[in-house]
Amino acid sequence: MSEPLIRLAEIHEHNREAGTFWVYRGDRVYDITDWVPNHPGGEVILRAVGGSIEPYWNIFTIHQNQDVYDILEQYFIGNIDPRDLVDGKAPAGLVDDPFKSDPERDSSLMVRSSRPCNAETPASELGTFITPAEKFYVRNHLWVPDVGDAEDHRLTIELIDGEEVTYSVADLRKNFREYNITATLQCSGNRRAHMTAGSRPTNGLQWQIGAISTATWTGVRLRDVLAHAGVDLNEPDEDIKHAQFVGAEAYGASISFDKAIDRHGDVMLVYAMNGQALPRDHGYPLRVLVPGHVAARSVKWLNKVILSGDESTSQWQKRDYKCFGPNVASHNVNWDDAPAIQETPVQSAITGVRQVKGDRLRDSDLARVYGLEEESVVLEGYAFAGGGREIIRVDVSPDNGKTWWQAQLLPHDKDVHDDNQKAWAWKQWRLALPTHALHEHFCVKAVDESYNSQPEQFDAFYNFRGNLANGWHRVPVSSRSKD
């Protein structure tokens, strides 16, 4: 029995206003109604229904693989009527480019993908404790939503009984105590390029050392807002296990409810960054800040918080941001075998290597610290651990790991953290080494307050998604620049 022929006009009727959703690819037509609730990317897929899926897949190129084609084929219902074909093809149609209102970006950012925008902070900007907002790395999963005026934006809190409480940004500013938290955000893919180079190919954006930045975030505590919305923080409903966050562009993720209401967890609803309104790339007018967790949980353009017994069902919670053993690959992974990445492991990187002449060094602070008078090399970098665990030591090797020196940890964070706050921000470090000690590679590894550290190599910690690549950062000693 042959499949029916379908007119384009009929396909157009099965659009987002309809109860059933059709798309076409080439001259083949699919009824994806049953797939929509299962789409890992959420309701974004409704942008395509009633027309061709291809322009969207040209944008979201993650779909251009056989697994996705196979899923689509399950929903095949017929071919396009040849009368609607031109040169044997259906018209692709005009796509409303979702990226057309993306903001301009600083030209020094190192672009890893432009649509969606993913761009890392250049190494030259990783040496300052607070990253200027325009130099802060950008990690967008979709487009930057145009939410209009902050005045019109609304945050809805959905309680466990389904009741909803809604706040404007002005409500948040007016009714709750304001806090400033200086915190580092790091993408789970930071240094993925090093895992690829040190072991095998990985799936994902090939970030170098700049998918990490630090800012001072201003906003209100999520726990205070939840209490106001009706949550009993002392004896909360035991059914609440997770706090899910939904962004205006359809991104979603969740954290544990314990973290969400932890008095020392500092989870915030943020409306300002480094003393200015949030830039659009960083979540204007409202985002979550989950300090100590992978940045993927700090949802931008926040419009909903859902208290739930379940994690977010998004692909970014259930799939992408997980790690597996080195023996697991995309063809044999069981995504449920690993928990979503929340707190991140110890990380560090070398951001600068400068050759310094003895006569310059002699009068410097480095000479006072290290007492070096000969020709030296000055290394600088960052170190960071998740969970608010403070970096207590940074070990640097001038000879590929044979001998080790302790770097000086710079005290910047003392200016922004009070005693009772966890270590939410990176530590910056520096070290002067005599030139005669250099051999092959500089290496750096950091140690946090629970005395966890970083793996020596990438092979044994390889994961096919290339997440949490925290093997020792190695830089050839030949790479030093003259001062």
Q: Which residues are catalytic?
A: 39, 63, 139, 187, 321
| Of residues 92 and 369, the one with the C-beta less far from its own copies | 369
Strands 347-356 and 481-482: parallel
| Of residues 303 and 397, the one with the C-beta less far from its own copies | 397
| Of residues 141 and 389, the one with the C-beta less far from its own copies | 389
Q: Output the 3-class SS for 28-44.
A: EEEECCCCHHHCCCHHH
Backbone phi and psi for residue 179, each to the nearest 5 degrees, phi listed first:
-125, 150
| Of residues 121 and 342, the one with the C-beta less far from its own copies | 342
271, two tokens: 């409306």
At closest approach, how far in Å is the CB of 149 from its own copies?
39
| Of residues 256 and 313, the one with the C-beta less far from its own copies | 256
At closest approach, how far in Å is the CB of 213 from its own copies?
21
Specify whether the CB–CB gap between 323 and 467 falls below 8 A: yes
Specify whether the CB–CB gap between 210 and 122 falls below 8 A: yes
What amino acid is encoded at 242 in this protein? H
Q: How many CB atoms lie within 10 A of CB 97?
A: 12
At closest approach, how far in Å is the CB of 74 from its own copies?
29
Q: How many CB atoms lie within 10 A of CB 480?
A: 19
**Footprint of its own copies (CB under 8 A):** 238, 241, 258, 264, 323-328, 337-339, 341-346, 386-387, 389, 392-393, 395, 397, 401, 403-406, 419-420, 445, 447, 449-453, 455-457, 459-461, 468
| Of residues 77 and 328, the one with the C-beta less far from its own copies | 328
The C-alpha atoms of residue 25 and residue 64 are separated, in whole angstroms, by 12
402, two tokens: 């044979």
Task: Give the torsion sign (CA, 413, 418, 422, 424).
Answer: negative
What amino acid is encoded at 98 in this protein? P
At closest approach, how far in Å is the CB of 407 from its own copies?
10
Residue 94, phi-psi category: left (phi > 0), alpha (psi -120 to 50), beta (remainder): beta
Concatenated DSSP letters of 284-336: TT-EEE-TTB-GGGS-SSEEEEEEESS---SHHHHTSS----TT--TTT--GG
The C-alpha atoms of residue 357 and residue 366 are separated, in whole angstroms, by 12
At closest approach, how far in Å is the CB of 263 from its own copies?
9
198, two tokens: 């040190």
**Residue linked to tokens 């999963």:** 141
| Of residues 38 and 403, the one with the C-beta less far from its own copies | 403
The C-alpha atoms of residue 364 and residue 187 are separated, in whole angstroms, by 35
At closest approach, how far in Å is the CB of 395 from its own copies?
5
Which of 433, 454, 432, 436 shows the shortest CA–CA distance to 444? 454
| Of residues 32 and 261, the one with the C-beta less far from its own copies | 261
At closest approach, how far in Å is the CB of 187 from its own copies?
14
The C-alpha atoms of residue 310 and residue 34 are separated, in whole angstroms, by 22
